[in-house]
Amino acid sequence: MEFYYGRVVLLTGASSGIGKITAEHLAGLGYRVYGTSRKGENGRIVFSDDNSQGFVEIVKLDVCDSRSVKEAVKYIMDKEGRIDVLINNAGFGISGAIEETSEEEAYSQFNTNFFGMHRMCRNVLPIMRKQRKGLIINIGSVAGLFSIPFQTMYSASKYAMECYTEALRMEVRDWGIRAVIIEPGDTRTGFTDNRYYCAESENTAYPKSKSSIKRMEEDERNGANPAGIAKIIGRLLNKKNPPVRITVGMIYKVFVQLKRLFPNRLVELILRKMYA
């Protein structure tokens, strides 16, 4: 197998869900995957009889802590001397009405989903520039294309990732570095059970929020297998010029096209019918 960008992968949020499945899939393809976990213990899982081949090694890292990010990157560099691929997957979701979301809760959402990604890029980009090659994959969401009611802060953080990735591609291209954002739809992972609910939501002034969030969670539990996303990422690692974005799931691809063609009010009406 040809490793176009190289074999060393740094993947955040690897302890569960999309991150865990992706780490295992890439290791099975022969990549040396350093998967990070905020609470996990350091350890290695070998996916080959030859320890020099594919493996997943868990590295403790909190994307909200700049020192933790620096230490984890240094640890990998001390062992490998390079980082070829960065996959920004760490994130979580907040649910609740805008009025009932505190500043602290909103910041917490952005601190992990957006600024966590930024901290990772800032620490890995100097390495990739020196190598004159690298790939950065940001795990966004279709919620970054369609604002979902009562999941506003999550949608906003993923919207921000869209803009960030577009600019990043243009800034780093001269160094042989590529960037792409993947936009999964509803996916069956532990993300649903780990969702955070705004403190004021318990006595909400928005009665429709509860049925809206319930519908959203039902869709997630009946969503796609994350293995499909892992396979897409595996194929991306050998594309010399990956696309700006990849929307996962045919129904979501169709909806993206319809959004471009339909009036905004019609798109809003459809989303209200679905979630509100």
Sign (positive or negative) of CA dihedral 17, 222, 139, 195: negative
Q: Is 16 helix (H, G, I), strand (E, B) or coil?
A: coil
Residue 64 lies in a domain: yes
How many domains are contained in the chain?
A: 1
CA dihedral 103, 195, 72, 245 (to 10 degrees): -90
Residue 243 lies in a domain: yes
Residue 1 lies in a domain: no
User: For the domain that residue 161 is a member of, what is the CATH number?
Assistant: 3.40.50.720
Tokens of 21: 């499945």
In this prediction the pTM is 0.89
The rounded percent of the chain whose pLDDT value lies above 70 is 91
Question: Which of 147, 159, 175, 180 is CA-nearest to residue 274?
Answer: 147
Residue 3 lies in a domain: no
Chain segment 211-258, per-residue pLDDT in tens: 777 776 776 677 678 899 999 999 999 999 999 999 987 677 777 777
| Radius of gyration over every alpha carbon of the chain, rounded to an integer in angstroms | 19
Residue 2 lies in a domain: no
Say which residue, 109 or 213, is predicted with more confidence: 109
Out of 21-30, 31-40, 46-55, 94-103, least confident range:
46-55
Identity at 238, one-letter amino acid code? N
DSSP state string for 199-251 = GGGGG-S-THHHHHHHHHHHHHHTSB-THHHHHHHHHHTT-SS--SEEE-SHH
Residue numbers of the domain that contains 202: 8-275
pLDDT greater than 70 at residue 272? yes
Place of tokens 């020099």: 52
Chain segment 130-184, per-residue pLDDT in tens: 999 999 999 999 888 888 889 899 999 999 999 999 999 999 999 999 999 999 9
Active-site positions read: 154
Tokens of 51: 């320890």
Residue 79 lies in a domain: yes
Residue 249 lies in a domain: yes
